[in-house]
Amino acid sequence: MREITYADALREAMCEEMRKDERIILLGEDVGVYGGAFGVSRGMFEEFGETRVKDTPISELVITGCAVGAAMTGLLPIVEIMFSDFITLAMEQLINQGAKNRFQFGGQGSVPMVLRAPAGSGTGAAEQHSQSPEAWVCNIPGLKVVIPSTPHDAKGLLKSAIYDPNPVVFLEQKLLYRTKGPVPEPGEDFVVPLGRADIKRLGADMTIITYGRMVPRCLKVAEEFAAGKGVDIEVVDVRTLVPLDRETLINSVKKTGRALVVYEAPQTGGFGGELVSVLADSDAFFYLDAPLKRLGGLDVPIPYNPHLEAQVVPTEEKISAAIESLL
């Protein structure tokens, strides 16, 4: 299978669906002529024109409100927020309007829109452009939340998100944009359904539950433990935070008897606490040979200094130490 970048996979997903369905439009700051802040929409303006790939004013509230209205009246809008931090400026329309519409009107309408946003640290963009806001939006009934970790999942999940009748917040970790991975050829109409986790590495001695940029980092540590210490670690990629595939997580922990949850966002109030609670409230609790453990980021704003920035999120060394504590 060919290998392409995460960014190219996202572009392919949008372009392939836009060619098939004229209801799909893309809105955002610099998504048109410039091709997107991270180059994801490069070439789309030339193919689809300014009617379907629209450069917008610098107002996240306006962009998101426009998408909510467009979705309610029959279009399938994709919004690109330049940095996920600026979801804060779009919250009123996203939460009070988009997320509530189907409930308010008894399912008579729907809001099939996708809000894409680059998230996370690692690019030296400092405290206002490097946050991981998934826990903010996971708390809102009516929103779905997706964080793919591979080009394959990015393309397949985005295709599913476009046609979902609910607003989907689709977070893309910035350091993953240039990573490469296998993706089916264009024309092979594949999707990755929302609500299904993926076991990225099978194992028998411990389960690591993670998502986004932490997936490749945990996989690397798992391979090192297998090669150096004979410890067989299963790595489960959550992929869709809402809806959450509880069954896959629970069954994995019942098999291995140990669980470590790893996530980039600050540990306090992070989504990792929800994942630990899911396991504690399930029958997996009775299979545990060690306490449930979570490893999140430090409870500080993201520093600009690259050495400090690297230490704010779970490093390979911190993940290894957490594994050792459970063994």
What CATH number corresponds to the domain at position 230? 3.40.50.920
Tokens of 211: 């998502």
Q: What percent of the chain lies above the pLDDT cut of 90?
A: 98
The pTM (predicted TM-score) of the whole model is: 0.96
Instruction: Based on the fold, state whether residues 144 and 8 are members of the same structural domain.
Output: yes
Instruction: Based on the fold, state whether residues 91 and 202 are members of the same structural domain.
Output: no
Total structural domains within the chain: 2
Q: Report the alpha-carbon distance of residue 157 to residue 239 in Å, rounded.
A: 9
Instruction: Based on the fold, state whether residues 94 and 207 are members of the same structural domain.
Output: no
Least confident span in 99-108, 215-224, 238-247, 283-292: 99-108
Instruction: Based on the fold, state whether residues 281 and 315 are members of the same structural domain.
Output: yes
In this prediction, residues 202-231 reach a mean pLDDT of 97
Instruction: Based on the fold, state whether residues 54 and 105 are members of the same structural domain.
Output: yes
In this prediction, residues 276-305 reach a mean pLDDT of 97
What CATH number corresponds to the domain at position 80? 3.40.50.970
Contacts of residue 231, defined as CB under 8 A and 6 or more positions apart, other chains included, come to: 205, 206, 225, 323, 327
pLDDT higher than 90, residue 1: no
On whether residue 87 sits in a domain, the answer given is yes
Nearest to 198 by CA among 264, 233, 153, 162: 153
Q: Does the annotation count 152 as an active-site position? A: no
pLDDT higher than 90, residue 149: yes
**Which of the following is catalytic: 129, 152, 217, 239?**
129
The range of the structural domain enclosing residue 90 comes to 3-182
Which residue spans within 47-100 are E strands per DSSP?
53-55, 76-80
Q: Report the alpha-carbon distance of residue 223 to residue 233 in Å, rounded.
A: 8
Residue 52, CB half-sphere, CA atoms under 13 Å: how many?
20
Q: What pLDDT score was predicted for residue 187?
A: 80
On whether residue 191 sits in a domain, the answer given is no
Q: What pLDDT score was predicted for residue 295?
A: 98
